[in-house]
Amino acid sequence: MAHPPILVTGGAGFIGSHLCDALVAAGRPVRCFDNLVTGKRANIAHLEGRPGFTFIQGDIRAMADLRAALDGVRDVAHLAALGSVPRSIATPLESEATNLAGFLGLLEAARAAGVRRIVYASSSSVYGDSPVLPKKEGTEGRPLSPYAVTKSMDEAYANLYHRMHGTEVVGLRFFNVFGERQDPEGPYAAAIPKFIRAFLRHEPPRIHGDGRQTRDFTYVGNAVDAVRCALDAPLAAAGEVFNIACGTSCDLLTLVDRLRERLAVGDPAVAAVGVEHAPERPGDVRASLADITKARDLLGYVPRYSLADGLDRAVPWYVEHLR
């Protein structure tokens, strides 16, 4: 019996396109849904025309688009969002409309469509100003940005729908995901692709603050594995949220050194490029390190890629695509 399609919202985005790759490779029918505001058709161009893959251009904020996309769908991987803490501070209404109202609309449309399970992207930003390390589910602090508020409220709505309607919702708190296809352009680009682009131009990467802030950098392959684990996890995982990371931390100055070393192999001039420091940014968390015990125990998630492994895979891709 053929599997019903899995709907991947934000499927033309960074994490979403990698998830589409993995699902198609596993023989799972995929319905990729994206409004192409931050996603790119180029990210999924190699999948178009493949058996079982369908692209639908639509907006998570439009109920008609959601209803059409969900027709016949059994499971949803919800990755559509307006990411970036600084962007949410600059344009909080846009973040609220996509990340919170869009998610609530998805919950309602999925309930009406009889969807079995929704695996959705939350964020490590929900830990806010909590000083507890490592970050463990249940130790959340006060949100430090509108983005963090939207993700905290997504978790609250997901839990509510699970309790009220029995919807199988599984939340994944991603910690600083990086990898191939992550966009280095624009003011809200993530740190690793921005640093790589600067080095390739022989310009000093800009670090906000002293560079000793730590992050649990998580290669995109681990994030994809986590979504697949959550889609197939036992019913006990429904209504829960899970940290998805490596369970290790690295400060930004050390990260820059590791990038410099890898890039200097092919371009020795990179070895002489320094670092530029800028003022700290509002909303930034000082220290981040995940406890991934719960995800391991309930989802069967074990990170396959370390930070070094991820950099070894991502850096050559950027060298090829940003030259």
Q: Which residues are catalytic?
A: 147
The CA-atom distances, in angstroms, between 80 and each of 28, 39, 155, 253 are 20, 9, 15, 31
Contact by Cβ (8 Å): 104, 157: yes
How far is it, in rounded angstroms, from Cα 5 to Cα 32?
Answer: 10
- Write out the two tokens for 81: 């969002």
Q: What is the CA angle 208-190-250, rounded to 5? A: 65
The SS3 of residue 9 is strand
Ordered DSSP codes for 237-285: GTTEEEEES-S--EEHHHHHHHHHHHHHHH-GGGGG---EEEPPPTT--
How far is it, in rounded angstroms, from Cα 245 to Cα 155?
Answer: 18
